[in-house]
Structure 1
């Protein structure tokens, strides 16, 4: 690996020459003084990547808790807790948003657009609050799609077929066409896809197999207009529709990938995203204006039948109907028993909509002098509406009864959540002696959050009653900072030290009837202290390493009011965490046609203070490990291509990843805490292709070792104490055909 062939120097160097825009201006990745991983579209295609969940194989310390399409939580460096996202997820210039749902937890439902026809993906590790704003306190994940080209006609096509062990069949079709409209002035690029999910979860109650099959379809249209050389206008529209039953299964059945659910669970998601980006290149700087509108309509269905187990008794009538004031009479008991038994086959049916309008104006230096800078203004206006209803299921089939029939609805609550945010930011860099660069940045933020809600139909088992609309608001402003010192010893060695701050907005709890002094919770913030080295050991051999410490204060946590009779679940600020970690990445081309890559991340994330305040008592105590944060993650890959003739190449790829064990909640004494075991996943891919990549036929196997790779396991009163489990699919065989025109 230390002595790559001279003939490969140019090809190998290209990977290290990836140009990224993590500083909001173009820089070579090995000369960017940040912990950043980047992968080109060609690399994604070679590995068969179609979702950003697969990017965990390319970046250390990146963790995605995958609960199925539309239900993904993105974590970097162990920064995870309830509330707003801790990682900013961008598609081109647009940050995408999850729904706050009924638990104020927007981080748990990150949407995922399909990765086809991608220019590159970037994973920025560590706080990026000064340039990317709130939600980037742990880092930022960016996907940059290919843009229209006005000098050529081109097209691409990919077809995929797959079969899951003891499961169903899946398939997908992706296509792209690029059309010049006015030569060198206007071009259009159209991308579309259809995807059929292969089911593998069986329902043992109704004897139905592969219940989590489903489908998604969508696409995007992009227009690039360059009326003059210096001016670029990009317009885009994205659409995606997802419909699938939930892939969750229940550990207590004793059978992997099996559920004993009695009512429906699933996700039905429609995403629309529109963006206009205008860029004008002046001699000394570039002016960029961005306006984006994100519209997400989503219905989440979750089986909660087990919540009501054992309550259809006279004792239950006394507890829930009469609130322990007296026993139920002979006239009251039959009605209570009938209504309680009906909801023992029921689901929470939650339609929700997010509309987010985002505008940004920024100016960046040309980047060819000693002094470089970026400054800008940002505005966000997000509106969310969530309706949560308890809907009866058919006890014979488990299918949900019509949610439009009032008889089938046994609980009805509506939440309105509005977030308005304004910010101004600036980052300045100056290079001393042509080697030493000092960077300083700050961001001023001002946000206002308003939350209102009502209960139109109460539910005795939820201790809720009809409540008129109530509204509260919370406002906060402040500054965050970043300092970076880097030393470019030569083109092959870069050393940097950084102290950077990250934050996310506070808000208002959605709990109707909560005392006013408990309604609001403030933003939480952290400082990340980091030391890193980036090296080019030989032409085409890159080794980067970073170590860090994170001090996270005023955590937003799920909690309950303190004292006797505490009944209000809410988000509050309590406790602190300290995280130590290290990351290393290596890529190399040791012989002709062979590319090797590997990365490893170590994260020790624990509470440094008890989660106790004068207002709330949460579950965490000093020394508890943060939830869903494995101590060790690692991956390796090998990609080999060799010519068989002038018109034919053989290509082979193998990759393996390890994810360490973790826990689902903080406290060892928590009865709902679940252990998530470590797992390893091995994938193989091999095929024949044209020497110019204009066509290819590939066979692949995912999860070769058929490991039960659990990435999420949780329990609560809504599950009756059962463990809801989400995992990667079992061993999957497939075939892929690609063609470029």
Structure 2
């Protein structure tokens, strides 16, 4: 499975010409709609979306939005929202494994609160603030099966969706219980990773009416065995990142009258897996030399209730959601302490002065303690409880005047315990979580309370021109407290009693939109919209109180878009935009010998300019072609000047993990083999250009993330009515080293940690529906 960089380069060079041929063929296929006689078939342009919190047809919605139906998601083998990058320009997901994902839209990314809102139905989900106040890096991910559609709203959605949606919003809308029928579905997948282990998954759904036309329940369950492919050369173990997840949801729909609908839902998802990270310095793909465990152990529970009442000209919607997450993040930090198990290390870290010498007794004690943590991980149990409520009223009469007004509240409580836990030097497995094995112990408590009022109004003049204006008032309070129960001299930390700091802020964000429908098949719109996310308080030992708080950052997005149907079955959309982002929340580290505490500070500004192109076509019966292109030029527009942040960026530096180009295309062809049997073949291809892990070229921990291409192939047979299907698939057809994250820090001793897509994967997927 493993080989050196020279062999990697040779293999990639040999495959590059094949990829170019594939891309040329794909390009030729994408221009076919202009040459072929097109006819009207079911197309994603006809999807009805609820991005504006009311029903609108996708092509009639005057904003940049990508949507894909559940059937299309299933045909493409989509099981996670990370796969939506194939369907959405300017969407980037920095994937560090299940439960450790950062979602980026239009290059809006920075440490701190999320810049993209993620919703499952009406329920927002939240990452953990961890020890670095970086909730954006750990977005939870529920499995996608029995999905009605997925919507990706590009650009700030501050008025309707509030904080955390400054770059955009991702919405997963699941199928709801049906009160008039019994139906069920079961799907299974078996796979094998090239050079790795076997993987398998199963998903099942059953829909049962309890009272006809009044009450029904829909239950969905899943189990997933991850295929391992990362080897540990230090211990000689293989496929260490194999793990599992399981979960499901139960949905109840009650419709006592035609006007009233009550939806109750409970979601559960558990993930247990070692980290898929590998180390570049080994010189081998998918190989680590870690001396201790890394992994993610995650439980997500969501409970929600939604009431919809149709009063005729208006509709009322009330939503309450309780999100409960238990997460234990484990990261190998053994390399932090390399070279410190000697007399010089004792003088520096134990005495804090290299001009002094440790006594024999001091040295013996120091070496005993340091030798233990040469095999250690940061073991961080985290608990998030988030209660959100929304009450809104919307117009429904379909006239020229449409509006939505509402209220929102959130109360999020997070507790993080960060410990340095030793591992067995013979196996790398963590030792028991007891005091004698814990060499650092810190607790952080974080509470965010928000309330907001919002309104969005639109009026359509003479069936052509529509003007929209929206505003949101927000008010938040952030309280952060912490203590250190056990210090660590290598971190320059000592036992510290509990202290607490608070910050608060309020303000407005706005949205203005004008759209003009030249015909039913051509619309042009322009929009100026604002987004924001809350600030907070750093809980960093030794940080001056005046620097503890950091404020919210905000941006303005200006865009111009065209939505068109250029011929029957062919949709073509183009958007250009500029984003001006001020007072960026920037990740940094405290100064001082051995310090590894992260913090957030406001520093500098950024300007992002980009363009997005989408093409969706059904040129002939059975052939579906989809392509999207995103160009993102995201740079600092001001120097980042701060007394707190180390290795700050300068004007012109590119934002981290934002490639300039991302391209994706899908070609799917279905043809009848017999009266009761269809054949289908599908190709998904994507290209992502290079990016960098940090802002400043002078940052010693900066790493380049190389460009990569990914090609997936599926082919098989299915029933014409969709009752069953059987597909063979090959993911990562050309076995590309598709690296989405390369990073380094003092916690890795300067080594480069790498996260990538799995190697070439072969598999079989089966689906059966019962209706």
TM-score normalised by structure 1 residue count: 0.98
Secondary structure, in 3 states, of the residue corresponding to 1:318?
A: helix
Task: Choose the corresponding residue for 1:385, options 415, 434, 437.
Answer: 415
Q: Distance in 2 between matches of 1:57 and 1:646?
A: 32
Residue number in structure 2 paired with 1:110: 139
Are the aligned partners of 1:16 and 1:542 in contact in 2 as well (CA < 8 Å)?
yes
Q: Distance in 2 between matches of 1:566 and 1:383?
A: 27
Secondary structure, in 3 states, of the residue corresponding to 2:578?
A: strand
Task: Choose the corresponding residue for 2:393, options 357, 363, 387.
Answer: 363
Secondary structure, in 3 states, of the residue corresponding to 1:680?
A: strand
Q: Distance in 1 between matches of 2:265 and 2:594?
A: 53
Are the aligned partners of 1:4 and 1:589 in contact in 2 as well (CA < 8 Å)?
no
Q: Distance in 2 between matches of 1:534 and 1:650?
A: 33
Task: For residue 326 of structure 1, report the CA deviation from its aligned partner.
Answer: 2.2
- What do the CA deviations read for 1:118-149 (whole angstroms, capped 9, x no partner)? 00000000000000000000000000000000
Q: Distance in 1 between matches of 2:643 and 2:436?
A: 43
- What do the CA deviations read for 1:444-501 (whole angstroms, capped 9, x no partner)? 0000000000000000000000000000100000001000010011110010000000
Alignment gaps of 5+ in structure 2: 1-32
**1:224-623 equivalences in 2 (<5 Å):** 224-324=253-353, 326-366=356-396, 368-403=398-433, 405-560=434-589, 569-613=598-642, 619-623=648-652
Give structure 1 regions of 4+ aligned residues with deviation exceeding 4 angstroms: 3-6, 560-569, 614-618
Greater shift, 726-735 or 424-433, is seen at 424-433
Task: For residue 617 of structure 1, report the CA deviation from its aligned partner.
Answer: 5.8
Task: For residue 312 of structure 1, report the CA deviation from its aligned partner.
Answer: 0.7
Are the aligned partners of 2:647 and 2:696 in contact in 1 as well (CA < 8 Å)?
no
Task: For residue 613 of structure 1, report the CA deviation from its aligned partner.
Answer: 3.8
- Structure 1 residues 367 and 263 mapped into 2: Cα distance closer, same or farther (>3 Å)? farther
Are the aligned partners of 1:4 and 1:539 in contact in 2 as well (CA < 8 Å)?
no
Q: Distance in 2 between matches of 1:505 and 1:50?
A: 31
Are the aligned partners of 1:470 and 1:512 in contact in 2 as well (CA < 8 Å)?
no
Greater shift, 318-327 or 31-40, is seen at 318-327
Report the aligned-residue RMSD: 1.4
- What do the CA deviations read for 1:360-406 (whole angstroms, capped 9, x no partner)? 00011115111110110000000000000001100000000001x21
- What do the CA deviations read for 1:142-164 (whole angstroms, capped 9, x no partner)? 00000000000000010100000
Are the aligned partners of 1:129 and 1:502 in contact in 2 as well (CA < 8 Å)?
yes
Are the aligned partners of 1:586 and 1:598 in contact in 2 as well (CA < 8 Å)?
yes
- Structure 1 residues 171 and 616 mapped into 2: Cα distance closer, same or farther (>3 Å)? closer
Secondary structure, in 3 states, of the residue corresponding to 2:637?
A: strand
Q: Distance in 2 between matches of 1:142 and 1:642?
A: 32
Secondary structure, in 3 states, of the residue corresponding to 2:621?
A: coil
Residue number in structure 2 paired with 1:125: 154
Task: For residue 220 of structure 1, report the CA deviation from its aligned partner.
Answer: 0.2
Secondary structure, in 3 states, of the residue corresponding to 2:145?
A: coil
Are the aligned partners of 1:453 and 1:512 in contact in 2 as well (CA < 8 Å)?
no
- What do the CA deviations read for 1:231-290 (whole angstroms, capped 9, x no partner)? 110000000110000000000000100000000111000000011000001111110000
Task: For residue 567 of structure 1, report the CA deviation from its aligned partner.
Answer: 8.7
Is 1:190–2:219 an aligned residue pair?
Answer: yes
Secondary structure, in 3 states, of the residue corresponding to 1:334?
A: helix
Q: Distance in 1 between matches of 2:88 and 2:222?
A: 26
Task: Choose the corresponding residue for 2:653, options 612, 620, 624.
Answer: 624
Task: For residue 3 of structure 1, report the CA deviation from its aligned partner.
Answer: 6.6
- What do the CA deviations read for 1:527-574 (whole angstroms, capped 9, x no partner)? 000000000011110000000000000000023568999997421111
Task: For residue 514 of structure 1, report the CA deviation from its aligned partner.
Answer: 2.3
- What do the CA deviations read for 1:613-639 (whole angstroms, capped 9, x no partner)? 466565100000000000000001111
- What do the CA deviations read for 1:592-645 (whole angstroms, capped 9, x no partner)? 100000000000000000000466565100000000000000001111111111
Residue number in structure 1 paired with 2:179: 150
Are the aligned partners of 2:260 and 2:310 in contact in 1 as well (CA < 8 Å)?
yes
Are the aligned partners of 1:574 and 1:618 in contact in 2 as well (CA < 8 Å)?
no
- Structure 1 residues 624 and 159 mapped into 2: Cα distance closer, same or farther (>3 Å)? same
Secondary structure, in 3 states, of the residue corresponding to 1:331?
A: helix
Are the aligned partners of 1:558 and 1:618 in contact in 2 as well (CA < 8 Å)?
no
Residue number in structure 2 paired with 1:687: 716
- What do the CA deviations read for 1:334-384 (whole angstroms, capped 9, x no partner)? 111111111000001000000000000001111511111011000000000
**1:72-111 equivalences in 2 (<5 Å):** 72-111=101-140
Are the aligned partners of 1:578 and 1:605 in contact in 2 as well (CA < 8 Å)?
yes
Is 1:696–2:696 an aligned residue pair?
Answer: no
Q: Distance in 1 between matches of 2:322 and 2:452?
A: 18
- Structure 1 residues 339 and 94 mapped into 2: Cα distance closer, same or farther (>3 Å)? same
Are the aligned partners of 1:611 and 1:617 in contact in 2 as well (CA < 8 Å)?
no
Secondary structure, in 3 states, of the residue corresponding to 1:317?
A: helix
TM-score normalised by structure 2 residue count: 0.94
Are the aligned partners of 2:442 and 2:482 in contact in 1 as well (CA < 8 Å)?
yes
Task: For residue 513 of structure 1, report the CA deviation from its aligned partner.
Answer: 3.8
Are the aligned partners of 2:188 and 2:201 in contact in 1 as well (CA < 8 Å)?
yes
Task: Choose the corresponding residue for 1:221, options 250, 255, 279.
Answer: 250
Alignment gaps of 5+ in structure 1: none
Greater shift, 316-325 or 112-121, is seen at 316-325
- Structure 1 residues 669 and 104 mapped into 2: Cα distance closer, same or farther (>3 Å)? same
Is 1:51–2:84 an aligned residue pair?
Answer: no
- Structure 1 residues 338 and 564 mapped into 2: Cα distance closer, same or farther (>3 Å)? closer
Residue number in structure 2 paired with 1:732: 761
Equivalent pairs counted in the alignment come to 737
Secondary structure, in 3 states, of the residue corresponding to 1:137?
A: coil
Secondary structure, in 3 states, of the residue corresponding to 2:218?
A: strand
Task: For residue 2 of structure 1, report the CA deviation from its aligned partner.
Answer: 3.6
